[in-house]
Structure 1
């Protein structure tokens, strides 16, 4: 890993000097604040997936058009993450994190009160811009807080906000939208963000930005043998997942399970929590094996939804397998990119964040086109077709990217 100063796209492998007398412990309270920031970022991005029917009715557009609220969010991140990362590279890290989270408070508030589709899309784009800053910052921030041998665990704690958002946030938001109004779910996000801003001020340490002239070396990172396979897997795996997840409420509604959307998402998210626990415990020894297993689990889930979706029990089984496969993927790919990049880990992380959100945007668009032209039952088969090259690349990249022999970080 690089030993250069922290960048908004990735921190150095060596953190700032630990506090005297406490060099071996993780700053758990501060890391949980980062996990909450990840939670807010993930939930803001995915919350419309559980609220599509209600949102489309109030905004006066089709469900496929409402699904583009996920697309525009991802576009905001993909288009601005790299230039904003460079422009803010000299900022104090804490100031940048506070600015990013304040952006979420504003964007979610506007989304909650808007009845105009165009204004809602602008708000979602702004949320995506804030996400670009946050995502490029958070993994490196977590690494920087930890002693070297605990950096992987620190990242796992921070990234736990993703499966918590999926397991609790999206189902809770879906349920809240069902019993009250979908706007209440977005207002609740604003309230949580305001609490988080105070938490960050009180508990999260500050670090300096980059020294003048330093920028993520993205072109150099592409020349490192292991980086392109990791970026390819990121792009295609996230694309496959998003095509189904962005329209999961519509997919379940077409199966006659619209009233069970919150429960199916709860099952999916609980399995995701189990997945990130397993990944966090074993990633330093079995990154390759875990990535292969994740791909296969999501593929089996897609096959079940394609063949046996008329049976409710298999829908729930698919949700379990999907969650077990997907929950640890962000941690796996962040770690793979950082380790493959070596001295250019910061550039690799910046490209991963960008490609992740390009895939999210493309998934929203492709999913909407498929919904309008082939119907929601085409989603599982599309997912399966995309996962085939993912598995091939992971298996092929055994010498770099997803190495067959992975050293224990300790």
Structure 2
């Protein structure tokens, strides 16, 4: 459990480093002297880095031992967040956001394999869920706390605190996390070949559309709430979303090994209902909180569900494909959201989420043979 908790903290740091600008876009854009849509690309460049480097770096380091790679990734977070905390240059900040994204690509490609190797087949889903608990914790505690501290003391303090956490985590990994060998060359399956396995393409489509829809709204959630005169409640809305996400990951962790398909369908429905509420009823602060709750319940377990599904369908090699797809469409979410903001305004965000999540639901329902089967392989 100590090792899994350290992995969960690495996931926490990955999401925290990625999403902190979403809660502090107005302050960061003002200090950097750029527009909010330009500052929103701090999330986009992070995701692009993870996307374009995940497959080549995973292939190049497949035979390396796992623990040194994990330590290198966390050290990358420490360096990138330190530079972000002190930088007055938009260009320099973007360069080190790119470096942080490379570190995140390593993190996401490593964590699931680590968790699976620590558990027997019938508990691997639960081990992944424990590891991925860092994601909703970052959303429920880290991002709201960072946003709150940023409003009180300035956004730079938040990035300094993340650097401090990275230093602590390096020591934790050194003392608690076991090392595992890489894959022997004769036992490795080419990463791109795993795409041809039944079910992998369908899971990756779900990843692409779901992540795109989520990040269109989440990247610019501050701007969306300001549009509806809720600018003073950004941290509270994020906290409601995050707490609901944490509840979701707890439910997912307990049930993923037996009910992956059902959980994925229910999650997609919850996100669709949330988007519909925000699209037509966001003038009511109460309903915004209801929508944030449903959104968190639908989104919180998605990381565990889709990482488990793609690994069941395509093996560990498919994780690099998932990281590339996930981060590529996370980047697209920031870019598309910026275009929507400039041309249609923030009210267009939930409509975009709704348009993308409905095909997700259809593919999950149809993909019962290989992508989202009623029973996971290796379970009873």
Instruction: Provide the aligned length of Structure 1 versus Structure 2.
Output: 380
Gaps of 5+ in 1: 1-27
Q: Give the aligned partner of residue 25 of structure 2.
A: 52
- What residue in structure 2 maps to residue 200 of structure 1? 173
TM-score w.r.t. structure 2 length? 0.98
Q: Note the alpha carbon deviations across 1:239-275, whole angstroms, 9 max, x for none.
A: 0000000000111111111110000000000000000
**Which residue does 2:370 correspond to in 1?**
400
| 1:369 alignment partner in structure 2 | 339
1:240 to 213, 228, 240: 213
SS in 2 for 1:346: coil
Contact 1:216 1:350 in 2 (8 A): no
Shift of 1:209: 1.4
CA distance in 1, matches of 2:39, 2:188: 37
Contact preservation (8 Å) 1:136, 1:353: yes
Describe the SS at the equivalent of 1:354: helix
Consecutive aligned runs of 4 or more in structure 1 exceeding 3 Å deviation? 212-216, 404-408
1:220 Cα deviation from its structure 2 partner: 2.5
Contact kept, 8 Å, 1:243 with 1:363, in 2: the verdict is yes
CA distance in structure 2 between the aligned counterparts of 1:400 and 1:171, rounded to whole angstroms: 38
Partner of 2:151: 178
Structure 1 residue 293 and structure 2 residue 263: aligned? no
Distance in 2, matches of 1:111 and 1:405, equals 45
Aligned counterparts of 1:214 and 1:69: Cα–Cα separation in 2? 38
Corresponding residue to 1:144 among 112, 117, 123 = 117
* Paired position in structure 1 for 2:161: 188
SS at match of 1:398: coil
Does the CA contact (< 8 Å) of 2:126 and 2:257 recur in 1? no
TM-superposed CA distance for 1:86, in Å, is 1.5
Does residue 292 of structure 2 align to residue 324 of structure 1?
Answer: no
Query: What's the CA shift for 1:153?
Result: 1.3
Counterpart in the other structure of 1:359: 329
Q: 2:49 aligned with 1:79, yes or no?
A: no
Contact 2:217 2:353 in 1 (8 A): yes
Residues 258-316 of structure 1: per-residue CA shift (max 9 Å, x gap)? 11000000000000000011111111221111111111100100000011100000000
What are the within-5 Å matches in structure 2 for residues 8-407 of structure 1?
A: 28-212=1-185, 215-341=188-314, 345-406=315-376
In the TM superposition, residue 408 of structure 1 has moved relative to its aligned partner by 7.4
TM-score, normalised via structure 1 length: 0.91
CA RMSD of aligned residues (A): 1.2
Between the aligned partners of 2:374 and 2:128, the Cα distance in structure 1 is 22
Compute the displacement of 1:330 (Å): 0.3
Q: Is the 8 A contact 1:292 1:394 kept in 2?
A: yes
- Once the two structures are superposed, residues 87-131 of structure 1 have per-residue CA deviations (whole angstroms, 9 ceiling, x without a partner) of 222221111100010000000000111111000100100000001
Report the secondary structure of 1:143's partner residue: helix
With over 3 angstroms needed to count, the CA separation of the structure-2 counterparts of 1:169 and 1:357, relative to structure 1, is: same
**Per-residue deviation, 1:146:** 2.0
Q: Distance in 1 between matches of 2:189 and 2:215?
A: 27
User: In proportion to residue count, which structure has more helix?
Assistant: 2
Per-residue Cα deviation, 1:318-372 (whole angstroms, up to 9, x for no partner): 000000000000000001001112xxx1222110111000010000000000001
The 1:263/1:390 distance shift into structure 2, 3 A limit, reads same
For 1:327 and 1:78, locate their aligned partners in 2 and report how far apart those are by CA, in whole Å: 21
Alpha-carbon contact 1:77-1:128 (below 8 Å) kept: yes
2: distance between equivalents of 1:218 and 1:315? Answer: 42
Q: Residues 71 and 220 (structure 1 numbering): CA distance in 2 closer, same or farther, change over 3 Å?
A: same
Counterparts of 2:186 and 2:94, CA distance in 1: 35
Choose 228-237 or 216-225, whichever is displaced more.
Answer: 216-225
